[in-house]
């Protein structure tokens, strides 16, 4: 039988109750071992997917350090598995791979808290969700009301979130609680194609489609009272979770550079087991060009989430008749989960600068790390893990184990267990919106197909995923948030 039908047939060795090893001896071209964080119940399902073979493929990349890693939400993606993590050393011929970042560059999530309670929101939840759907652009190709011509886009991609905050679409505090301050240095908008500029003109401040959403939630459980208090979270509190990325601009940047990288392995004298892993040495002209463009697209994504935040705040103002500041709609944190960043990590006892690819994976820096905002220094960086429309999301805090085990990384969501095609078949004759409504979750979307693709059954149990990263000491559980209203493309 073919590998595609049988899943992963290679060896999996138990390291501990929530970590599994694919030994380097499995394939002659592996430079490092593969490590997968999952419990015994999950690993059987993970074996059925092609993600583990992609973990092996990533282990062949030049300059890869320690291990090719996968989080418990792993499932197959383009080149890299979603949930995949890899660090490469530029001083050892390490490569940069667009497939290790993803098409939606800096897809990420941000969480807003409020001083509203569920009792205060409940009578207005339908009106709130309807108005969010009316005023926040969602769906494939949807245009927004914020238009940026090429000179403005260039400044936006150089400055990141600060560019739109300075125009009145947020406050300085928003920048303080955004990963990297909402801006990657050394972005190079000149490496972004005219086609990408065209696609980015009217999409900043739009949700897009697929698994992107804006969700109104209620905190139903506090697991770590001390960390929750530092983050300003309390049981019964209404929160807002926003999930989107760099839209068509980021997609185009990825597409353009994959084409540029197609022949790079041959030029630089190495081979790859999968053409989707197309990559180039970090220090090569191709590698530097992609890094400059990828950073520019990442900065666009942070501006997109900042403008979505502004629009959400405006809708709350309309519904409740109070300024958003009076409603306490402050940013808890914003994290990227499709990005490559240069960070200092210990490898075999030596601290070195490496390029960490996080593909559907979230940074999870521990207490005391210099990149954690000062108010969170004692508890660690907030880690935000969305579930599906019908299941809870989680807030965690990064722990010291992430630095020793996963290059400062945690999972990014529940992770799919079902293709979109299969999910649509499963939903035939059903109304997912009505099913969710019966559970007390108000959903608005552009069409039934998108809801069918994103139905809760298409995803793993997010509670189980989060239990794994908590158990292995990568990030610890702080608060659980249940959805009450969702808008999607």
Q: Which residues are catalytic?
A: 412
Q: Is 104 annotated as contributing to ligand binding? A: yes
Order the strands of the 350-359 sheet from edge to edge: 13-16, 19-22, 33-37, 67-75, 82-88, 350-359, 338-347
Q: Is 413 annotated as contributing to ligand binding? A: yes
Q: Is 393 annotated as contributing to ligand binding? A: yes
Task: Identify any residues that bridge with 356 across adjacent strands, giving them in sequence order.
Answer: 87, 341
Q: Is 83 annotated as contributing to ligand binding? A: no
Q: Do the beta carbons of residue 95 and residue 287 sit within 8 Å?
A: yes
For 241, residues 6+ apart whose C-beta sits below 8 A from its C-beta are 109, 110, 111, 112, 213, 214, 215, 217, 384, 386, 393, 481
Q: Is 415 annotated as contributing to ligand binding? A: yes
Q: Is 212 annotated as contributing to ligand binding? A: yes
Q: Is 215 annotated as contributing to ligand binding? A: yes
Q: Is 211 annotated as contributing to ligand binding? A: yes
Q: Is 389 annotated as contributing to ligand binding? A: yes
Q: Is 341 annotated as contributing to ligand binding? A: no
Q: Is 412 annotated as contributing to ligand binding? A: yes
Q: Is 369 annotated as contributing to ligand binding? A: no
- In degrees, rounded to 5, the angle at the alpha carbon of residue 96 between the alpha carbons of residues 19 and 65 is 40
Q: Is 137 annotated as contributing to ligand binding? A: no
| Strand-strand pairing, 409-411 and 361-363 | antiparallel
Q: Is 181 annotated as contributing to ligand binding? A: no
Q: Is 214 annotated as contributing to ligand binding? A: yes
Q: Is 445 annotated as contributing to ligand binding? A: no
Distance (Å) of CA 194 to CA 124, 153, 190, 255, 256: 44, 11, 9, 13, 11
Residue ranges for the known binding site for Mn(2+) are 104, 212, 243, 337
Residue ranges for the known binding site are 104, 211-215, 243, 337-338, 386-389, 393, 412-415, 488
Residue ranges for the known binding site for GMP are 211-215, 337-338, 386-389, 393, 412-415, 488
């Amino acid at each position: 039988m073919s590998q595609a039908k049988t899943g992963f047939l290679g060896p999996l060795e138990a390291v501990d109750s929530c970590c599994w090893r694919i030994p380097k001896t499995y394939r002659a071209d592996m430079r490092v071992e593969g490590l997968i964080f999952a419990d015994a119940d999950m690993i059987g399902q993970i074996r059925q997917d092609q993600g583990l073979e992609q973990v092996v493929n990533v282990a062949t990349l030049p300059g890869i350090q320690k291990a090719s890693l996968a989080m418990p939400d792993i499932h197959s993606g383009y080149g890299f598995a979603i949930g995949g993590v890899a660090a490469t050393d530029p001083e050892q011929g390490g490569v940069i791979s667009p497939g290790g970042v993803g098409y939606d560059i800096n897809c990420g999530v941000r969480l807003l808290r409020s001083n509203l309670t569920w009792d205060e929101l409940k009578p207005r939840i339908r009106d709130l969700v309807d108005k969010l759907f009316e005023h926040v652009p969602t769906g494939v190709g949807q245009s927004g009301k914020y238009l940026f011509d090429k000179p403005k886009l260039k400044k936006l991609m150089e400055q990141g979130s600060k560019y739109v905050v300075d125009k009145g679409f947020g406050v300085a505090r928003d920048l303080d609680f955004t990963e990297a301050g909402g801006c990657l240095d050394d972005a190079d908008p000149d490496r972004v194609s005219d086609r990408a500029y065209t696609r980015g003109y009217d999409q900043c401040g739009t949700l897009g489609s697929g698994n992107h959403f804006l969700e109104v939630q209620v905190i139903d459980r506090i697991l770590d009272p001390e960390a929750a208090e530092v983050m300003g979270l309390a049981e019964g509190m209404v929160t807002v979770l926003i999930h989107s990325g760099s839209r068509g601009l980021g997609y185009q940047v990825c597409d353009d550079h994959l084409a540029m990288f197609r022949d790079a392995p041959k030029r630089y004298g190495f081979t790859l087991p999968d053409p989707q892993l197309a990559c180039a040495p970090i220090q090569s002209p191709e590698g530097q060009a992609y890094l400059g463009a990828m950073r520019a697209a990442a900065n666009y994504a942070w501006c997109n989430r900042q403008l979505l935040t502004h629009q959400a705040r405006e809708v709350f103002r309309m519904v409740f008749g109070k300024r958003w500041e009076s409603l306490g709609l402050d940013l808890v944190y914003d994290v990227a989960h499709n990005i490559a960043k240069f960070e200092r990590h210990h490898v075999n006892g030596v601290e070195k600068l490496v390029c960490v690819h996080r593909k559907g994976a979230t940074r999870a820096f521990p207490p005391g790390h210099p990149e954690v905002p000062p108010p969170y220094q004692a508890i660690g960086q907030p880690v935000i893990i969305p579930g599906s429309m019908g299941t809870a999301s989680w807030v965690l805090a990064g722990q010291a184990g992430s630095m020793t085990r996963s290059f400062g990384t945690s999972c990014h969501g529940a992770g799919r267990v079902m293709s979109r095609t299969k999910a649509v078949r499963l939903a035939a004759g059903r109304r997912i919106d009505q099913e969710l409504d019966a559970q007390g979750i108000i959903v608005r979307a552009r069409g039934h197909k998108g809801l069918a693709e994103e139905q809760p059954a298409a995803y793993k149990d997010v509670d189980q995923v989060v239990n794994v990263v908590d158990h292995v000491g990568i990030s610890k559980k702080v608060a659980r948030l249940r959805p009450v209203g969702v808008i999607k493309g």
